[in-house]
Structure 1
């Protein structure tokens, strides 16, 4: 991220959250079940670091902000890619989550959480979390809480579609396939429920490694239940509000960064103008420079 910001490398404007926080045995604890060694969280090549208890969560949050994180991600439920925890499991106590939120607020940052189930999502929202990633199993009460707290929801539907297609050949265990089916079957309905209620929806993909090439297919999935304009807002103006960068990105306005896609077509009439760049993309502009 620093290299991009300083112009040392060519790439997009990158707003990163550092390493996610996971409890022992949580979604980010990828040690084999027979491994009793203490995790070396800060330096190991992993997407998360393990922090248990209020003091450890506080220290880990401060360290991620020290290293430049623009927000903090906390893992609050089981996940598809972590084979040994249940989707409905709640990870982290409310006191630990509140501690992460307090530290984020002290640094003028915010917390977003990985969570699928209302038990975990509701705990996060009551603790002051700003954003929820995934949220496939939300119910009406959780939708009401999202609205009450003016929080944001980032569905990631394409991740489940692509993982279902390629997971077995990539070695995804059977336990993960069962969880994948559960969240995949409820994802589109959850998106429609949140959209109809007026929840702040942001575009995301959660695609890993070789699956990155499918990220634009999220537009196609969302268009099944959302108008094109709302899908586009989720990737532009609403995303900017989540990042607290409204007026800087995600808009065509004086004083904003001129980060633009110039396309041949009208995505409001046909979203394939965005999902088929080989046919429609003419220019990528970053900060006013045509790349």
Structure 2
């Protein structure tokens, strides 16, 4: 999350995966009915929302923002996520990959999410694209600056306030917060001189305050790096300059193709960056291939449409507005 000089809040993310997800900007209108892989009855949404998604016999979104100013994103929770084995008759039964649709379609604030989350039963149902139960956890924020992380493990659902305003993949969120205690020496200004016996050492140039900031591509290191850079990046004045600032912050954790490979010949890379302007109710998508930023706004026409609206990514100019 990021707050600009005018007090407006944003939620931004990189989508890092080796499998080509093929997502593009989508607007889901108000009062929409979704099919569900977990329940034959499906589920209903009330609010319109926009984000990155794909039509897989029904749209699945992985991040986005709704008309009430709530933003949400999925992140990988490999090795730790544990979901219900069976549906429950008195609850809203969802597959893990359907949570973003339900949240953005029904939640008007983080406080409202906390009140409603016990009505949801997340069922261990496979995703058709991956042919597996996708291990996920979620970050959810609203335009007041409230931010929570949702994690479901063997002990059930945990809804945790996020004071750092940052989240990455596994391990669990509380571990990431505790790990920040190992980096209390980080600061944007330089360290002073230090005496070793009769020798006085001094840093070569500015930037020594960030000595020890981890630079690798693990989720652990990217959490620390994002937290430090987010905390110390200056506040922009406008929405456009805020998106630009977020782009530079995410530059620090973006994964180029080839540097994070697995043993099977694949490699994770940042397929796109998504920027959710919570006060504005707009979604900005920046793909890896050309870095052009496409903006999708929640206008009355798309909010009241009878079906979702999907847009090709725009490449003509930065901040090209789709209405």
Fold shared per TM-score above 0.5: no
The higher relative CO (CA closer than 8 Å, separation ≥ 6) is in 2
Higher normalized helix content (fraction of residues): 1
TM-score w.r.t. structure 1 length? 0.29
